[in-house]
Structure formats: structure tokens, C-alpha cells
């Protein structure tokens, strides 16, 4: 879906809430999106149930009660800010099945989920790998746009947006337009070319691309020449609070949900990262 609403009906932004450590940042981002695009926020927590226990029995478990309490606390903060929102506890066998079921039943146009780094390196490595596998399944099986946030800080004022020559900018542009409306926020689009390429020609091409998506006026464009694009992007990210990373091209295979380059950038960047997956085939 390329717009946040269908006519006068707000589209649903499904926000996966699982960890109180990420709730504040996710709420902040979803609120910015809601204010810019008339989204209706649906806070969702998935309670997983073992295969030997029926889902009906699972719906009356202590974990469901705790999940409702968690969502109610988050929901109170959103409603106090005057943003339309709802809350849902989904019971499923796995987290990805629960998120996908909730997205389908509520006709969500986008799924937003977040990860916050653990206190220790060993704990972080295990939990992040598990989180990544789950989100890959969500993006691969789902029919909605998916945004995966990896939080390494609370700021969203200085935003870096790497842009490839053939990058699909549908969802990335939506995020840029929403963030660009916030007072005090600055956006920088970054395009990396080979050392022997013409930076002037690359600039003209990317400027046209940004104009097509209606985002050229909300940020500045920086074109740099580098032999290693990942290294150049990660280096530039050090001066920003948040980076939006989408696919470098339209993937032809479903296994290319989040490209190896995008994942490497997300892993190595010192800043918070939004990994974007656009479900609309053939849309730039």
C-alpha cells in the first residue's frame, strides 16, 4: 500500500510491542507517522503458546493478562497525546504467526517492530539473531510493508537516508515525509558512487529520483565516491541519530527480503536503524 489511508478511512499501523525497552521509541516513531499520514495505531503483543496447549486455553493464561497490562500502559501514553490507537493481544504458536494473523485480521497497511540491544554482547548476539529470523519470516510471508527498527539511541533529529540508483522509495519516502514534518529534524540523503564514476551525473539522477517521490525538498543530497559503499554509509551514520535503510533494488527473489548489504549496514552502524521492506511489486 502506497498511502497511509484509503479515502477517509485511516490505514492501520500495526506496532509490535514485546519489550518495554523498545516501547517508548516505537511509540514515538508511530506517533510521528500517525500525525503525518492519518494512521490508526494498533499496539499488538503476541503471546506464544506451546503446541501441546490449545490456543483457547492460552487466551486465559497469566501471560495474556500481563500483556494486556503492558499494552494498557503504553496505550494510555499515546491517547494522552491525542493520537487514535487501539491494543490487541494475539495468541499464537509463534511470534511471526501472531503478527501476521493480527495484520491480516485488522487489514494493516504496515507492520512496525523494534529491537533494543541487550546489556551484554553474548545476550545481544543470541537475541538479535532470533529477532532477525522472526522478522524475516514476517516480511517474507506477509502482505504488508514492514519496518524493523533497531534502536541504539533515543534521538530522531538527524536522519540519514542512503539512496541507491534503483532504490524503491515508496515506504522510505513515507518515513522521510513523516519525520521531515517534525520541528528540528534534518534529513540527509546519501548516495555512494564508484571512485571512477561522475558525481555530477549521479547527483542529477538521484535528484530526479527524489523529486519523483516528492521528498527532494525535505532534505539535502550528499553524493560521495567510495570503493566500499557499506563503509562509507556506516562512517556517515556516526554523525546522525537515525538511519533509514531500504533495499538497494527491487528484489527478484523472496529470499532477498533484507539484502546482505542492508543487514551489514544495520549491524555495523553506530546509530539507530530502520530497515524497510516494501511489499508493493513494481512500485518505486
* Angle in degrees, CA 280, 220, 222, rounded to 5: 90
Q: What are the backbone dihedrals phi and psi of residue 60, each rounded to the nearest 5 degrees, phi first?
A: -110, 15
Say whether pLDDT at 248 is over 70: no
Per-residue pLDDT, 69: 94
Q: How far apart are CA 68 and CA 121, in angstroms?
A: 31
Say whether pLDDT at 269 is over 60: yes
Residue with cell 563503509: 231
Q: Where are the alpha helices (DSSP H) in the chain?
A: 20-37, 55-58, 62-80, 95-105, 121-141, 170-180, 199-212, 229-237, 260-268
Residue pair 207/236 in contact by the 8 Å Cβ criterion: no
What share of the chain has pLDDT > 70, as a percent? 87
Per-residue pLDDT, 261: 79
Say whether pLDDT at 258 is over 80: no
Comparing 123-137, 166-180, 204-218, 225-239, the range with the smallest average pLDDT is 123-137
Q: How many C-beta atoms surround the C-beta of residue 137 within 10 A?
A: 17
For 154-171, the pLDDT digits (tens) are: 889 999 999 988 777 888
Per-residue pLDDT, 224: 95
> How many residues are present in the chain?
284
Comparing 79-93, 129-143, 232-246, the range with the smallest average pLDDT is 129-143
Say whether pLDDT at 31 is over 50: yes
Average pLDDT, the chain: 85
Mean pLDDT of 56-63: 92
CA gyration radius, the chain? 19
Say whether pLDDT at 78 is over 80: yes
Mean pLDDT of 102-119: 86
What share of the chain has pLDDT > 90, as a percent? 56
Q: What are the backbone dihedrals phi and psi of residue 159, each rounded to the nearest 5 degrees, phi first?
A: -115, 130
Q: How far apart are CA 111 and CA 109, in angstroms?
A: 7
Q: How far apart are CA 263 and CA 248, in angstroms?
A: 11
Domain annotation for the chain: domains and CATH numbers: 5-151 (3.40.50.620), 158-277 (3.40.50.620)
Residue pair 71/89 in contact by the 8 Å Cβ criterion: yes
Say whether pLDDT at 120 is over 60: no
Amino acid at each position: 500500500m502506497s498511502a497511509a489511508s484509503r479515502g477517509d478511512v485511516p490505514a492501520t499501523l500495526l506496532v509490535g510491542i514485546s519489550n518495554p525497552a523498545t516501547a517508548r521509541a516505537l511509540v514515538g516513531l508511530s506517533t510521528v507517522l500517525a500525525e503525518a499520514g492519518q494512521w490508526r495505531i494498533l499496539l499488538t503483543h503476541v503471546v506464544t503458546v506451546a503446541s501441546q496447549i490449545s490456543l483457547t486455553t492460552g487466551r486465559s493464561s497469566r501471560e495474556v493478562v500481563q500483556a494486556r497490562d503492558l499494552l494498557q500502559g503504553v496505550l494510555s501514553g499515546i491517547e494522552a497525546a491525542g493520537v487514535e490507537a487501539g491494543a490487541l493481544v494475539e495468541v499464537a504458536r509463534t511470534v511471526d504467526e501472531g503478527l501476521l494473523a493480527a495484520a491480516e485480521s485488522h487489514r494493516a497497511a504496515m507492520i512496525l517492530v523494534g529491537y533494543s540491544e541487550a546489556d551484554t554482547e553474548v545476550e545481544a548476539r543470541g537475541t538479535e539473531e532470533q529477532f532477525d529470523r522472526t522478522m524475516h519470516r514476517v516480511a517474507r510471508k506477509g502482505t504488508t510493508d514492514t519496518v524493523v527498527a533497531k534502536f541504539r539511541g533515543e534521538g530522531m533529529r538527524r536522519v540519514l537516508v542512503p539512496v541507491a540508483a534503483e532504490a524503491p522509495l515508496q515506504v522510505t519516502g513515507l518515513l522521510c515525509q513523516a519525520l521531515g514534518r517534525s520541528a528540528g529534524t534534518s534529513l540527509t540523503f546519501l548516495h555512494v558512487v564508484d571512485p571512477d564514476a561522475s558525481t555530477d551525473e549521479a547527483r542529477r539522477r538521484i535528484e530526479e529520483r527524489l523529486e519523483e517521490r516528492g521528498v527532494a525538498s525535505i532534505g539535502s543530497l550528499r553524493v560521495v565516491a567510495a570503493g566500499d559503499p557499506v563503509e562509507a554509509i556506516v562512517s556517515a551514520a556516526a554523525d546522525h541519530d537515525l538511519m533509514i535503510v531500504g533495499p538497494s533494488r527491487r528484489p527478484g527473489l523472496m529470499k532477498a527480503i533484507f539484502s546482505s548489504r542492508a543487514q551489514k549496514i544495520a549491524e555495523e552502524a553506530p546509530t539507530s536503524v530502520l530497515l524497510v521492506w516494501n511489499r508493493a511489486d513494481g512500485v518505486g
